Structures are given as structure tokens and as C-alpha cells.
Amino acid sequence: MSTAIEIDDLSFAHSGADLPALERVSFRISAGESVALLGPSGAGKTTLLALLDGRLQGWSGRVSVLGAPLDPDRPPPSARRPDTGFVFQEFALVERSSVLRNVLNGRLGRMSPLRALLGSPTKHDLEIARTALADCGIADLAECRVDSLSGGQRQRVAIARCLAQEPRLILADEPVSNLDPARACEILALLTGAARTRGATALFSSHQPDLARRFAQRIIGMRDGRIVFDVPTSELNDDATAELYREVGPIPGIGLRAVS
């Protein structure tokens, strides 16, 4: 089975930070796997996902995504970026644009720059966007402006945009943290289901162990920028989870907290 993500001895510190955001992280994810990154806020999940998306530079170690090594000093070439899709925690949608326009924005990296700039998507682009909308259950919202939508609807638009990109790897940063439990299950089922039917690899972060258990085949536990455990979902025991969320004494600036 081919490899989707390979990380070896990765360390990274945000500029000006005292403590590293990621410390000696190593793991490998095979193509087609659904993996959850579990850990409290401040564990380094968002940093790791942004780094895999090519948005962070200045790290050390070796990282390879979809078979191509990432350069620690510069972002990946635009031609490679559509292969990695990202679902942002705060949706990152263009509020004043329509749902369809936002989903088509996911196609921009797949179009020629001129076609993208002129705003003339091909029939193929439109078809993919419509399919993504339908898969996310929001086909009827296509013409609505995003600023008129609810949180759950916005999350669906964000996922549809990611799917329209036709990524081979889907990275999702806390895709359900803003939703109530029932919506959270729907969205995660949608995300992991869409990844499976498209043969894409999915890596999503969460701070809710029960959701991670339900929707991932494998769970990587993170705390303080380190990997604490990396196990198949069936082998995850409550002690390991409890250890992940154990309260430490208050350390200013680290913002570790138990999750309800």
C-alpha cells in the first residue's frame, strides 16, 4: 500500500515562542486510511495539519506528502497544492459570495490561471462542484450567500469546497468543534464517507475521544507537541485517553485544559 504521509523526526517552533509546537514527531499514514489526531487544545494538532498543507516553513526533520517531499523553507509548488485539501476550523469561506462560488473556489487550483481569473469554469468544473454540493446535502443552497447560513451549513460548504478540489489527501482541522453532537456525527460521517468513496486519505483533528473512536480507523494522541500514542482504534483504551487529558499544573501561556 502506498504512503500518503510520512513524517520523520519533525520539530517546529512558532517564531518568538519559548516552547516548540511540535517536537520529534514521527509517523506514517498509508493511502486510504482515516486517521484522527486526538489531543487537548495547544497539543500541536493545528500546527501539524497546517504544516502538512505546506503553509508553515522553518521546521526540521523530513516530511513527505503524497510521495513528494516538502521543502522546510518554501511552500510547495501551486501545481501540487490541489492534491491536498484542507477543511479549516473556522470554515474560511468568502462570506459575501454564494455557496456555489465558494465551492467553485476549490476548483481554482485545477483550472488554468487565465480561466480562473476570468471566472469561466468549464462544464466539468461545474459538474464536480454540483456533485460536491449534493454529496454534502446542500444542493438547494447553491445560490445562497454564505453570510445567510448557519454554522452547520457553513461547515458543509467548507467540506464541499474541499471535495471540489478533488484532493487525494483531506486534512481537516477540528471540523466539528463548532457543532452540537448530532451535527458533529453527521459531518464526520460525511467527511470520512466522502474520503472513502473517493479513495482519499483523511486526517482530522479532534479533542473529542468518542468522535475520534467512531470515525477513525487509527488514532494518534498528541500532547505538548509530541506523539503520546499511535494505535488502531480498537486498541485505544481509556487510560491512554485519560493520560492525554490529565490536568497539569497551570503553566502560563500553554493553555492546556480539560475538555468537557
Give the interface with other proteins as residue ranges (CB under 8 A): 53-55, 78-82, 84-86, 88, 90-97, 101, 105-110, 113, 116-117, 119, 161, 165
Considering the complex, what minimum distance in angstroms separates the CB of residue 155 from other proteins? 13
Give the residue with the Cβ less far from other proteins, 171 or 256.
171
The least distance separating other proteins from the CB of residue 127, rounded to whole angstroms, comes to 18
Least distance from other proteins to the Cβ atom of residue 96, Å: 5
Which CB atom, from 26 or from 122, has the smaller least distance to other proteins?
122
- Closest listed residue to residue 247, CA positions, set 258, 259, 237, 233: 258
Residue 218: CB minimum distance to other proteins, A:
24
Specify the residue, 177 or 217, whose C-beta has the smaller distance to other proteins: 177
Select 112 or 260, whichever has its Cβ closest to other proteins. 112
Alpha-carbon gap, residue 89 to 69, rounded angstroms: 26
Looking at beta carbons only, is 46 or 217 nearer to other proteins?
A: 46
**Whether the Cβ atoms of residue 195 and residue 163 lie closer than 8 Å to each other:** no
State the Cα–Cα distance between residues 25 and 228, nearest whole angstrom: 10
CB of 204 to other proteins, least distance (A): 15
Largest CA distance in the chain: 58
CA distances from 259 to 156, 230, 244 (A): 25, 20, 11
Using DSSP's 3-state secondary structure scheme, residue 9 falls into strand
229's grid cell = 500514542
